[in-house]
């Protein structure tokens, strides 16, 4: 267990290759960067390949952005909404993702994609695997900001037991290696008001897509 000057950081292993880094992402500059990104590539509801609207609003930054539409899930260098490249990944995002990965045992992480998810109360993300990436050797780094949420985390098989973990503002989940294809999701967000984000939760998911 490690603690910073303020005593707010704590390592919380949740299985082989998976760890919650409590209080690892408390720099207020992160939310300013999210606002900057959303000013260039706005949050939007994407469509599933089946034509349903995804409840979580999304945008991206970095060389590649995750998109979903009638043609499927994939990574694209340009935002289909603006026709322009996704906003650059802020230096602070890259540093945070690399430091979190290294801290959890995955040195040398070079994310080229950052999906930014925005949840409002009543919205959830069902259990899924992150498997649209070419490089499954790289871990996933997932940053929670704003309203608290319940994270579900299972194993690489659909039927593996799933545990619930409370995620709060500033927590970072890292999973890779034996946990890289773990099923995971977010339970329906409860109503609330966060001093920094209001009635929303923001998640940053850093990945090596190519």
Q: Which residues are annotated as a binding site for 2-oxoglutarate?
A: 117-119, 201-207
What string of DSSP letters covers 131-159? Answer: ---S-TTS-EEEEEEES-EEEEE--SSTT
Task: Report the C-alpha gap between 210 and 203 in whole angstroms.
Answer: 21
Q: Decide if residue 41 touches ligand SIN (CB under 6 A).
A: no
Annotated binding site for Fe cation: 128, 130, 184
Give the pair of three-digit tokens for residue 13.
């292993």
**Cβ proximity to ligand SIN, 84 vs 198, nearer residue:** 198
Could you say whether residue 142 binds ligand SIN (CB under 6 A)?
A: yes
Residue closest to ligand SIN, measured at CB: 203
CA of 138: how far to CAs of 96, 105, 127, in Å? 15, 11, 20
**Which helix (H) or strand (E) segment is 39 a member of?**
helix 29-40
Report what 186 binds from ligand SIN, Fe ion, none; CB cut-off 5-8 Å by kind.
ligand SIN
Mention every residue, 6+ apart, whose C-beta is less than 8 A from residue 161: 154, 155
Complex with ligand SIN: residue 9 or 124, whichever CB lies closer: 124
Per CB under 6 A, the list member of 21, 141, 172, 186 interacting with ligand SIN is 186
Interacting residues with ligand SIN (CB under 6 A): 117, 125, 142, 144, 151, 184, 186, 203, 205
């Amino acid at each position: 267990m490690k603690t910073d000057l303020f005593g707010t950081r704590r390592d919380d292993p949740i299985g082989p290759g998976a760890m919650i880094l409590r209080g690892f992402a408390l720099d207020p500059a992160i939310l300013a960067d999210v606002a900057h990104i959303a000013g260039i590539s706005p949050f939007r509801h994407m469509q599933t390949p089946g034509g349903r609207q995804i409840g979580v609003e999304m945008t991206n930054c970095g060389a590649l952005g995750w998109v979903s539409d009638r043609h499927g899930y994939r990574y694209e260098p340009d935002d289909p909404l603006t026709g322009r490249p996704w906003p650059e990944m802020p230096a602070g995002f890259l540093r945070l993702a690399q430091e979190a990965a290294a801290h959890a045992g995955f040195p040398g992480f070079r994310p080229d994609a950052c999906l930014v998810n925005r949840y409002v109360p009543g919205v959830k993300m069902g259990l899924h695997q992150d498997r649209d990436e070419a490089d499954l050797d790289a871990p996933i780094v997932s940053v929670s900001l704003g309203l608290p949420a319940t994270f579900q985390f299972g194993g690489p098989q659909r039927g593996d037991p799933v545990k619930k973990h409370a995620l709060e503002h500033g927590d970072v989940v890292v999973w890779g290696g034996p946990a890289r294809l773990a099923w995971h999701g977010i339970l329906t967000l409860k109503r609330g008001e966060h001093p920094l984000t209001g009635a929303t939760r923001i998640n940053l998911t850093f990945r090596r897509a190519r």
